Amino acid sequence: MKRFVKKLLKVLMWIGISLGSLAALFFLVYLLILPRGPRELMDFDDPFHTAREAVVSERHMASAGTPWAAQAAMDVLDGGGNAFDAAVSALLALNVTANQAASFPGVAPILLYDAENNIVRSYIGAGTAPAAATVDFFHGRGHDYVPNLNILAQLLPASPDVLIAILTEYGTMSFAELAQPAIELARYGFPIHQQMANDMDFSLIERIGFSFLMPYNAQVYLRGEWWRPLHPGDRMVLPDLAGTLEALANVEQQVLIAGGSREDGLLAVRDYFYSGPIAQMIVDYHERRGGLITFEDLQNYRGGWEEPLSGTFGAYTVFANQTWTQGGVVPMVLQILDGVDLYAMGHNSPEYVHTVIQAIELTMADRERYFGDPVFVDVPMGGLLSPEFAAARRAAMTPGAAFVGMPPAGNPFAYQDMPPRNPLARLEPTAPTPSNGAARDFTRDTSYIAIVDQWGNAVSLTPSDFPESPMIPGTGLTLGTRLNQFVLDETRANGLMPGKRPRITPNPSMVLRDGEFFMTFGTPGGESQTQAMIQVFLNIVVFGMDPQEAIEAPRFISMNWPNSFAPHRYYPGRIQVEAALYDVIGSDLRAKGYRVDRLDDWVNAVGAVCAILRDPATGLLIGGADPRESSLALGA
């Protein structure tokens, strides 16, 4: 027996030595032989972390998450296209140049201002759950939430439907014309901007794991070279995505050449995606990989026009998409704050920050309780947006003391005439479970586009989706992971059901002042989106800042509710404050009972807002773009 043990130990020792030698050889090859530097650096003036003045214009303006998206919009506007044409071109350019954060064909919630009719309109820009996506399906496979890095997290794609609907209703140009800048950027390349490099800043081990888990994704972003990180300024090319966009453009052109109408050509683009070759490629891949999306799911998908939500703050009316987004939080919070003298508190004073945070936390408790796809859930928006409910929530504030955890939801049914039709709206949700360990930022990134044209039309668009699930081979298409914004509990307003839309975080906003267009604005940033937008709005409207000043001012965010992304982490009493503000009031906030984290200045964890407003006094357009990301505003 002793002899056997000695032999075994000797064998194990030699195995260990052999493995260690292989590991040493591996790292030697990695360090000395495999190229790790950039392939082809391009000249690029990245606006990331660069302070700038507000942009002022008499005619038209675009502010977007990357310079190429802003320029694509401006080229359309300069050429006589309208804001809706420009939004399509900007979105496709953004889908290329912010592909890691706002991929084609992901979610694309949008608000439009129709100047001729002086109305704000909303189009549904989030896909639905596949017919086979049920709570029982996921629970039966041992999942407590929809898994990340998994094909099962993919929602039906929405943005192709959005693009065609907008062009059909309001556009003047062809899809092919508007897609050309994106096709060229994808085919010939663009320099990796700092935000893309930050989002894709993987360690060596992560790059190796990425290559094993999702080899096509790694091929797209790393060109299959797991040993080489992304470098700012290096050329990024996306040939498969270029081919997909060009195929869509060619379908339209074939219809037009054959004598079809503009509308016929646009419909052909949509059909090519949802019931043609692209749909078949998506379905074939899902069948091979055990996914849930079927041909019937794609063929039957529709977005649709809807009445936007709105609330008031003094002379301002603030608009949002319906409760398949979290956008209603912005007008709800502002209505609570409308009864408070914020100006007298002083900008970013401890009292001001505490008051704004409390209004946000009260509203987020209502979001958690009531917000869900209104087709499936009877959301009591009449009550939630009533001034009386806002007053009741204002009365629930605790001056001088932070909430210990997420406060209880209010009772909006007491403030609307119609009782709830859906019994889900009456159920008390399960109390969230606090997360252990260090707090993580509420960011997952996204992007944003704001446009105003010479006729006064405006667009607010917050596209998103990230390559955290397997991309469709050969297409360059990212279907994202938005299914994991559901909770796996059918009794919850945001509980998963087949055909239902999750309550997604991306939410554009638009504002009228005394019934006239005033501002279009929005941001990436997951749970921080509504919070950043509220602060920028108040900076402009209450404290008189121009959009760029309002955007660059220090921010704070709360984390005092479950994160919308699985696994829905919850950090009771936790807030995060940018350094310039933390160093002034951090101790005051801690004295009120907050658990305060100090962030670096200008981090996208607190959002990256773009905004354009029309000055009521001069009629001039004034715009800004957030230096927390590689955003840019341009005007003419």
CA distance 482 to 396: 33
> So what's the pLDDT on residue 417?
79
Residue 431 has pLDDT above 90, yes or no: no
Which distant-in-sequence residues (6+ apart) come within 8 Å of 274 by Cβ?
160, 161, 298, 299, 301
**Do residues 533 and 325 make contact, with C-beta atoms less than 8 angstroms apart?**
no
pLDDT band at 20, cuts 50/70/90? low
pLDDT classification of 424: cutoffs 50, 70, 90: low
100-156: pLDDT as tens digits? 999 999 999 999 999 999 999 999 999 999 999 999 999 999 999 999 999 999 999
Q: Are 568 and 559 in contact (CB under 8 A)?
A: no
* pLDDT (mean) for 317-338: 98
Q: What would the pLDDT profile of 209-255 be if each residue is shown by its tens digit?
A: 999 999 999 999 999 999 999 999 999 999 999 999 999 999 999 99
The average pLDDT across 253-263 equals 97
Sheet holding 119-123: strands in order across?
305-306, 119-123, 110-114, 458-461, 449-452, 61-64, 632-635
Taking only the tens place, the pLDDT of each residue in 273-287 is 999 999 999 999 999
Compute the 3-state secondary structure of the chain and give helix, strand, coil in percent, each to the nearest 5: 40, 15, 45
Residue 82 has pLDDT above 60, yes or no: yes
pLDDT at 5 over 50: no
CA angle 37, 222, 163 (to 5 degrees): 130
pLDDT at res. 342: 98
pLDDT > 90: percent of the chain? 89
Q: Quick one: pLDDT at residue 120?
A: 98
Q: What is the pLDDT of residues 382-421, one digit of tens each?
A: 999 999 999 999 999 999 999 989 999 999 999 987 666 6
- Where b means 16+ CB within 10 Å and e means fewer, 590-610 reads eebebbbbebebbbbbbbbbb
Tell me, what's the pLDDT at 442?
45
Q: Report the pLDDT value the prediction gives residue 12, as an integer from 0 to 100.
A: 53
Find out whether 409 and 383 touch, Cβ atoms under 8 Å.
Answer: no
Side chain identity at residue 75, one-letter code: D
Q: Give yes or no for residue 30 having a pLDDT over 80.
A: no
Q: Which residue has the higher pLDDT, 6 or 58?
A: 58
The single-letter code of the amino acid at 302 is R
